[in-house]
Amino acid sequence: MVSPVLLIAVPLGLAFALPLFGLVSKRIGKYIPVVAFAFNLIISLLLIPKVLDHSIVISIGGFSPPFCINLVAGPVGILFSALIALVGLLVSIYALDYIREGPKEKYHILYLLLLTGATGVVLTGDIFNLFVFFEILCISSYALVAYTGEKSGIESAVKYLIQGAIGSSFLLIGIGLLYGLFGTLNMADIAQNITTISPLSVFVPLVLIITGLGVEAAIFPLNAWLPDAHSSAPSSISAILSGIAIEVGLYAVVRVIFTIFGASNIFMFLAFLGVLTLLVGELCAFSQNNIKRMLAYSSIGQIGLILFALSIATSFGVTSGLFQLISHVLAKSLLFLAAGYMIYRTGSMDIPSFEGMGKRMPLTSLAFTVGAFSLVGLPPFMGFPSKFLIVQGALAKGSLFFTVLIGLVLFGTVIEGAYFFRVVQTMYFSAKGRSAFGGRGGKSNPGGNEASVVALIPVFILVALIVGIGVYPKFMTGILDSAASELLNRFEYIRSVLG
């Protein structure tokens, strides 16, 4: 029997058991995440055809909702859990070779639990349970940011922790207020009764909850922690934080707004906030000289873009937003993984030190270029159809407000193009310094500087996915459409949970 609860229970059990495996053999530990996420990926893929038909609602403990915690495995939940499992699997394969120092066993436990928390957030149907899984996600990322034990890592972990902890307290106050108002914690049950209370008294919990979740989702005024944390974590963790953690935060925000509160009157504000986030992120990224900080700011920009697309709130807009989200997850994890090995080889994060990379590490540079082009939105790659859909969706809305905003979005894309081309140009076409750097490694030992095979496998799987979906975007349409309709149709959600 395939039950969505296995998606959470099995990785959790494996994480608890990992220290025991460690007693048997020191080398088993690093393969456990691979096994766990391969399992999750298979389960998620098996569940996709079922959830396209109708959402699966699982009650934990055998009581009926709203009296127990329930998991809602709808198209959105399974789409996200498949995405988490896929990226988790690829990054854990990458980490087999990449993580060589420090308390490795602890790294793998925390990594496994981080993604388990993320899976829990996207599957749960209970708001307090969402808080608990959110804390699992956040606390393991605080610890992983500090994993290297270097000055910058510790410092940014402290910043991240303080802001995250304030956010969680706000979230908890909001949940307390909701419980006081409705006497229940089940999201569908709250959603059903939300109209019985005057909008003014619902507004405060809404703001508190969005503030709390927004810290993790890096929405504009709350994202001060992100560039530091993402740039000083190990690259495999940066890939997960940029590729999974903030997207899951965004998912939670969107779920709260769309499903629980049904707050259609704040979409304009959210779209504005999204574009603001986009512009701030892209402009800061443009002025960076450190590659990981540049990628981190670019993540902020992309989150803004996704938030903008989702708050168009037509089925077209939401579909394009989810598509952009997937394309960002794949491209950004690819970029961080590729950049991780380049940093490892050069020992520096400064963009000028990547001169001549196209010769010294041709495969990795190629992968980086594919990721960058996809993120900018060039045609053969996955970023193109998603950005195209966003523009189409915003124009189809037909309001002046959205038309103006989409102009700003295109402006942001231009900036994005500018800084990514700068990096690519440095890697391939920089005449200076090639003799100084590339001469030794490149000529005497051709290919000897290339990343290891274990690390290249996941990188090229990501490249294949980006190109494949870019060429044939119809592949994703089915699941994206039903995911969008799940988000937009809250009555269907309520009905499927409460019966």
* Residues of span 106-125 touching other proteins by CB under 8 A: 106-107, 109-110, 113, 116-117, 120
Q: 272 and 188 in contact (C-beta within 8 Å)?
A: no
Stretch that binds other proteins, among 45-53, 151-159, 250-258, 326-334 (CB under 8 A): 151-159
396, 121, 379: which is closest to 244 by C-alpha?
121
Interface with other proteins includes 20 (CB under 8 A)? yes
Q: 334 and 429 in contact (C-beta within 8 Å)?
A: no
The amino acid at 371: G
Interface with other proteins includes 166 (CB under 8 A)? yes
- Secondary structure (3-state) at 68: coil
Interface with other proteins includes 418 (CB under 8 A)? no
What is the closest distance, in whole angstroms, from the C-beta atom of residue 436 to other proteins in the complex? Answer: 29
List C-alpha distances in Å: 204 to 64, 93, 165, 170: 30, 44, 19, 11
Q: Which of 35, 38, 52, 59 binds other proteins (CB under 8 A)?
A: 59
Interface with other proteins includes 129 (CB under 8 A)? yes
Task: Show the binding pattern over residues 251-290: x = contacts other proteins (CB under 8 A), - = does not.
Answer: ---------------------------------x------
Interface with other proteins includes 39 (CB under 8 A)? no
Interface with other proteins includes 177 (CB under 8 A)? yes
3-state secondary structure labels for all residues of 159-172: HHHHHHHHHHHHHH
Interface with other proteins includes 305 (CB under 8 A)? no
What is the closest distance, in whole angstroms, from the C-beta atom of residue 19 to other proteins in the complex? Answer: 5
Interface with other proteins includes 15 (CB under 8 A)? yes
Task: Show the binding pattern over residues 199-228: x = contacts other proteins (CB under 8 A), - = does not.
Answer: -xx-xxx-x----------------x--xx
Q: Which two tokens stand for residue 70?
A: 């329930």
Interface with other proteins includes 2 (CB under 8 A)? no
What is the closest distance, in whole angstroms, from the C-beta atom of residue 343 to other proteins in the complex? Answer: 17
d(CA 268, CA 317) in angstroms, rounded, equals 13
Q: Which of 37, 80, 98, 128 binds other proteins (CB under 8 A)?
A: 128
Residues contacting residue 103 through CB under 8 Å, at least 6 positions apart: none
**Phi, psi dihedrals of residue 215, rounded to the nearest 5°:** -60, -45
d(CA 331, CA 303) in angstroms, rounded, equals 13
Q: Which of 36, 43, 69, 406 binds other proteins (CB under 8 A)?
A: 69
Interface with other proteins includes 9 (CB under 8 A)? yes
Residues contacting residue 184 through CB under 8 Å, at least 6 positions apart: 66, 190, 193
